[in-house]
Amino acid sequence: MSKRTLYGMSGSRAVRSLWAIEEVGIAYEHVPTSFQKESKAPEYLATNSNGKIPALVDGDVTLFESMAINLYLAKNYGGDLYPADAATEGLTWQWSVWGISEIEPLQMAILVQKLFVAEEKRNEKLITSSAKQLARPLAVLDQTLSDRDWLATDQFSIADLNLAGVMLLLSVIEFEYSQYTHVKRWADACYARPALQRAQAR
């Protein structure tokens, strides 16, 4: 059996891939790696020249980018977590990419201002604008989930994990979205999964 190593820490985007590898249930070594100095160290750069987390080493395969890692893990080890047909696979890729293109930039803009900029220097207009812009994608997601429990199949799948993993940051920035009742129901179901609890404890 090939040795699998996942680099990252739960208090970062790497929690998405920690969640995925816990969800598929394979043995792995976790190497806690911060997104600051540790990810720029020569020994880490030798594994991941991109200098960011997470990164996965699975035998001869080395990957970075959480969405790529998660899709790889689900397809190779996740069984029903990964779609069985091309149409559902397309939906899975769609929601995974949609999350990092439609949700992530807006929530990251808010996070940077709230967590990394001194209060007296914060750009409150940017925070307000980004929060208002989140209404559109959340409404799209709410409509999608109005007649289904999960995004791509009739059960929790890697599509749900990937998008819910991106949206974990909404709680970090204390963004209230309970008015999107279908999104809230779906997110609560995703976040109740034991694999996420294990990932967050890393």
| The pairing of beta strand 61-64 with beta strand 55-58 | antiparallel
Q: How far apart are CA 151 and CA 141, in angstroms?
A: 9
Which residues on neighbouring strands pair with residue 63, listed in sequence order? 56
What's the domain range around 137?
Answer: 83-193
128: exposed, middle or buried (Cβ count in 10 Å: 0-12, 13-18, 19+):
exposed
Could you tell me the strand order of the sheet in which 29-32 lies? 29-32, 4-8, 55-58, 61-64
Read off the CATH number of the domain in which 76 is found: 3.40.30.10
Read off the CATH number of the domain in which 117 is found: 1.20.1050.10
- Mean pLDDT in residue range 95-124: 96
Count the domains in the chain. Answer: 2
Domain termination site, one of 50, 80, 110? 80
Q: How many CA atoms lie within 13 A of 56 on its CB side?
A: 24
pLDDT, tens digit, 9 for 90 and up, residues 120-154 = 999 999 999 999 999 999 999 999 999 999 999 99
Same domain? 76 vs 87: no
Same domain? 32 vs 108: no
Which residues on neighbouring strands pair with residue 32, listed in sequence order? 8
Enter the pTM of the model: 0.95
Same domain? 132 vs 118: yes
pLDDT, tens digit, 9 for 90 and up, residues 35-66 = 888 888 888 898 888 889 999 999 999 999 99
Contact indicator for 4, 28 with CB cutoff of 8 Å: yes
Q: Give the pLDDT confidence score for residue 2 in this predicted structure.
A: 61
Same domain? 97 vs 145: yes
Same domain? 66 vs 156: no
Q: Give the pLDDT confidence score for residue 43 in this predicted structure.
A: 86
